[in-house]
Structure 1
Amino acid sequence: MDTVVVKFGGTSLATEKERKEAISHIGALRAEGKKVIAVVSAMGRKGSPYATDTLISLLKKDCDLATLDLLMSCGEVISACVLADSLVQQGIDAVALNSLQAGIVTDGVFGSADIFDIDTKRIKMELHENKVVVVTGFQGVTVRNDITTLGRGGSDTSAVVIGGFMDAESVHIFTDVPGVAVIDPRLVPKAKYMKEIDINLMYDLSRWGVGVVHPRAIAAAKNYTLDLFIRSTFDKGQGTRVVKDLKMKGPVGAGIIKNCGIFDVGRADKLIIDGEKKRAVRPVPDSGYSLLTVVFGEYNREEIREALGTLPVKAELFTSESCAHIFVETSQVESLANDLYDRLFE
């Protein structure tokens, strides 16, 4: 039987009703003859009792990083146990594994670790016994058996890397939206969802504000031969398929980063506009400014500028090889997003 990895985020696990939706997807895959590994995030969002941000609030800001990682890992352990028990209650044999039990080995960078090896023997044994294997996302164990976390969006990365080490046929990232939208539907309600997208363009979108999947997960997926889907827990659609070497020309989609600023590049900067002059993008709480980035396939800078035309709002424009970055007052973002959608994507 082929192996499939599914990942469920906090909003997909927060209540019994939502967990039943998640279980229905697992059941459907098993009915197709698939072996299923489920990777889970902590339940709920900020304010929920077991959400990662809630756990962080229990410690002081200057606490020991190893202690913080150990605490943060608890949310996923709770999720794994609850989902495994829920599966059993629905007649589906399941087992919950933490990162040590699952053999997930990371480096020693607390708060932003990378997975460099997985001893898959335990996972394979449980799958051989026809169980759904529920694994804690977002974390791993160093060679010294210290718990480390992977940073924000780490459960997405866990799912992809587990899928790679298990030679899975596909990884399905389940969220609360039905795939990757051309632009944020909260700003443009009529925005369409993509059936498929090239993996490199998806990486650009995820870096520049499309939050349905973390860019580290997309980068990891480039290393493996598996199908990657971004889907909704709450409908049966196949969502958006992320494809290698898919030819896409012209405007593909747009991402938005709110409350940010543009700066000269420093050593610590990671989010950099690689234009004629490199500029760094950094979070600035309550700055009143946002960055709207349109990602293009197979367009040069001149074609990008021509496609954008005259912007309807006062803004600063930066272009790179595949992106147009528009720095604009946050109050103008919705108007700009709707204008660009009508002209570029309709």
Structure 2
Amino acid sequence: MALIVQKYGGTSVGSIERIQAVAERVKRWRDQGDQVVVVVSAMSGETDRLIKLAKQLQERPEPRELDVLLSTGEQVTIALLSMALTAQGCPARSYTGAQVHILTDSAHNKARIRDIDAARVRADLEAGRVVVVAGFQGIDEQGDITTLGRGGSDTSAVAIAAALKADECQIYTDVDGVYTTDPRVEPKARKLDRITFEEMLEMASLGSKVLQIRSVEFAGKYRVPLRVLSSFEEGEGTLISFEDNDVEDAKISGIAFSRDEAKLTVLGVPDQPGVAHRILGPIAEANIEVDMIVQNVGADESTTDFTFTVHRNDYAPALEILQRTANELGARQVTGDASIVKISLVGVGMRSHAGIASRMFASLAKEGINIRMISTSEIKISVVVDEKYLELGVRTLHDAFGLGQPATA
């Protein structure tokens, strides 16, 4: 008997018919003797609908109240799925994040899980029930409802799997696995049978929408076997595993990209110790995450130009903060650009293969694609380019590194 945690995304539970199909799949697992915990998202489109309602009342909805509103989406799904399971003769019980005490910090809309009390879930499993838990949400120490940010149901599922020491965490979604890149951008993209946690972590952080980055962090930290599968067709999906001896065979495993980028630059900042902290400190205090950072010598030796990127949703508040900071520092000018994208090569094989960066830059240059920023690590190279070059850039690099070809044995 295995203990399995399954997560179903919004498209997987987007209608009564799809919820019934999920119930049938879950029942098959339970009927073969496994214990099953199901974590679900809100029905597709529901979270966007709730956000739209909130913005009709406030341009920037109050974070605490927005969490109260958004958490209702998953509550609908858990009740409906539990009803569907019961109707099929499979005992089930639903729980909100608060009811199973998914304890988080108090960062509304972006909360992080601190602890999970799995006792209630274990008791139901031992009683032969399927447990259905609302993803994406928790409760803080003050008893306030919190949400984990977009894709947070993945994190909920992996965290619950870790707390229960589950045999496997299965993420069911509208794709049948992890691909070398998004097939909607590059039709020749190839499904990967397996990928390392390290590579998946980079892919998630760099814009791949298959899994939320924190879910991969949890899985890697607590060694939770993780598999991405399709809700709509049978298959083995993609196994996310620890690095093995074959990783040197593949220089590049995939290409990630993010459309949700914005770039901010403060020009003519006094070149003195502590200036980076004075620029980024207020940004961090506003709970805005900074990605790529570049600092250059300014127009004269006594000043510097400082550039960084943020998520496009954070562009307006970050620009407002930066303009205040620039005035305090006596900087010359603040500029911004919300029409950029990031394209990244990812592969643990980079560690043992030279020349990856030069081939990447040469391939983009051949297509007339200008690189605005560059960032590297051991297993990834990221570039910022103009938004209009996204699809051309991804396809060019996919061909240049032969990612559409079958993996060699």
TM-score normalised over the length of structure 1: 0.91
Deviations 1:233-261 (A, max 9, x none): 01111211111233523111011111523
Matching residue's letter, 2:382: H
Aligned residue among 300, 303, 306 for 2:355: 303
| Match of residue 55 from structure 1 | 50
Matching residue's letter, 2:252: P
Counterpart-to-counterpart distance in 1, 2:261 and 2:385:
10
Deviations 1:57-88 (A, max 9, x none): 33323443222211111111011001111111
Matching residue's letter, 1:119: D
Is the Cα contact below 8 Å between 2:289 and 2:311 reproduced in 1? no
Count of residues in Structure 1 that have an aligned counterpart in Structure 2: 341
Shift of 1:13: 0.5
| Match of residue 317 from structure 2 | none
| Match of residue 48 from structure 1 | none
Matching residue's letter, 1:180: V
| Match of residue 124 from structure 2 | 126
Deviations 1:262-314 (A, max 9, x none): 44573436342378989632244894432111112142595322442432232
Q: Report the CA distance shift for 1:100/1:284 in structure 2 as closer, same or farther (over 3 A).
A: closer
Is the Cα contact below 8 Å between 2:293 and 2:309 reproduced in 1? no
Is the Cα contact below 8 Å between 1:182 and 1:192 reproduced in 2? yes
Aligned residue among 303, 306, 310 for 1:282: 310
Q: Which deviates more, 167-176 or 111-120?
A: 111-120
Shift of 1:23: 2.3
Q: Which deviates more, 291-300 or 273-282?
A: 273-282
Counterpart-to-counterpart distance in 1, 2:145 and 2:30:
32
Shift of 1:338: 1.9
Is the Cα contact below 8 Å between 1:11 and 1:175 reproduced in 2? yes
Counterpart-to-counterpart distance in 2, 1:220 and 1:281:
25
Could you say what secondary structure the match of 2:191 adopts?
Answer: coil
Aligned residue among 98, 106, 111 for 2:96: 98
Aligned residue among 281, 291, 295 for 2:342: 291
Q: Which deviates more, 5-14 or 116-125?
A: 116-125
Aligned residue among 311, 328, 331 for 2:385: 328
Matching residue's letter, 2:390: V
Q: Report the CA distance shift for 1:306/1:105 in structure 2 as closer, same or farther (over 3 A).
A: same
Could you say what secondary structure the match of 1:58 adopts?
Answer: helix
Counterpart-to-counterpart distance in 1, 2:259 and 2:69:
29
Could you say what secondary structure the match of 1:82 adopts?
Answer: helix
Question: Are residue 270 (structure 1) and residue 269 (structure 2) matched?
Answer: no
Counterpart-to-counterpart distance in 2, 1:259 and 1:68:
22
Could you say what secondary structure the match of 2:110 adopts?
Answer: coil
Q: Report the CA distance shift for 1:280/1:240 in structure 2 as closer, same or farther (over 3 A).
A: farther
Counterpart-to-counterpart distance in 1, 2:256 and 2:91:
40
Runs of 4+ in 1 over 6 A off after TM superposition: 274-278
Counterpart-to-counterpart distance in 1, 2:396 and 2:167:
40
Matching residue's letter, 1:296: G
Shift of 1:24: 3.4
Deviations 1:7-59 (A, max 9, x none): 111111011222233223313322332100000111112xxxxx122112333
> What aligned pairs does 1:166-245 form with structure 2 within 5 A after superposition?
166-245=164-243
> What aligned pairs does 1:61-80 form with structure 2 within 5 A after superposition?
61-80=59-78
Deviations 1:75-117 (A, max 9, x none): 1101100111111122211111112221222222222222212
Matching residue's letter, 1:313: G
Is the Cα contact below 8 Å between 1:137 and 1:159 reproduced in 2? yes
Counterpart-to-counterpart distance in 1, 2:228 and 2:309:
26
Counterpart-to-counterpart distance in 2, 1:337 and 1:76:
34
Is the Cα contact below 8 Å between 1:273 and 1:320 reproduced in 2? no
Is the Cα contact below 8 Å between 2:193 and 2:239 reproduced in 1? yes
**Structure number having the greater helix percentage:** 2
> What aligned pairs does 1:145-160 form with structure 2 within 5 A after superposition?
145-160=143-158
Counterpart-to-counterpart distance in 1, 2:258 and 2:202:
13
| Match of residue 32 from structure 1 | 32
Counterpart-to-counterpart distance in 2, 1:22 and 1:275:
47
CA RMSD of aligned residues (A): 2.3
| Match of residue 4 from structure 2 | 4
Matching residue's letter, 2:3: T
Counterpart-to-counterpart distance in 1, 2:181 and 2:30:
34
Counterpart-to-counterpart distance in 2, 1:62 and 1:191:
38
Shift of 1:142: 2.1
Counterpart-to-counterpart distance in 1, 2:260 and 2:113:
31
Is the Cα contact below 8 Å between 1:315 and 1:326 reproduced in 2? no
TM-score normalised over the length of structure 2: 0.77
Could you say what secondary structure the match of 1:315 adopts?
Answer: coil
Counterpart-to-counterpart distance in 1, 2:387 and 2:142:
46
In structure 1, stretches of 5+ residues that fail to align are 46-50
